[in-house]
Amino acid sequence: QVQLVESGGGLVQAGGSLRLSCEASGRTFSSYAMGWFRQAPGKEREFVAAISWIGGSTYYADSVKGRFTISRDNAKNTLYLQMNSLKPEDTAVYYCASTRSRVVFTTSNYDYWGQGTQVTVSS
């Protein structure tokens, strides 16, 4: 089993940056692909970014491509999301999650989820 705890959210002005972290417990962190999702009020949870279990492959939603960077440090059992050039439409609760599926874009393929961290971007 994997337990995930996100941190790093907050309030930032448009154009600013934040770095989210997701610390995982358990010895099998490196066996999972990891993803970031977000959910805005009144909207469904949506895919943001994902990274393969050794970090060799990364995937991004079109809406964040070129602005967000996903990375992982398996030695520290930690996943990161560097968010630059933030926009008001990036405001949401951000969740990290783990999966053993090769299909990393689909919410239902993820086995374990964190509790989420709020990101608010003011205009």
Euclidean distance between CA atoms 112 and 3, whole angstroms: 7
Q: What is the DSSP string of 17-41?
A: -EEEEEEEESTTGGGSEEEEEEE-T
**48 HSE (CA, 13 A, CB side):** 28
Q: What is the pLDDT of residues 66-110, one digit of tens each?
A: 999 999 998 899 999 999 999 999 999 999 999 998 888 999 999
Angle at the Cα of 122 (from 116 to 123), degrees rounded to 5? Answer: 145
- Is residue 18 scored above 70 in pLDDT? yes
How many Å separate Cα 49 from the centre of its chain? Answer: 6
pLDDT reported for residue 27: 67
Question: Which residue has better confidence, 102 or 23?
Answer: 23
pLDDT reported for residue 2: 85
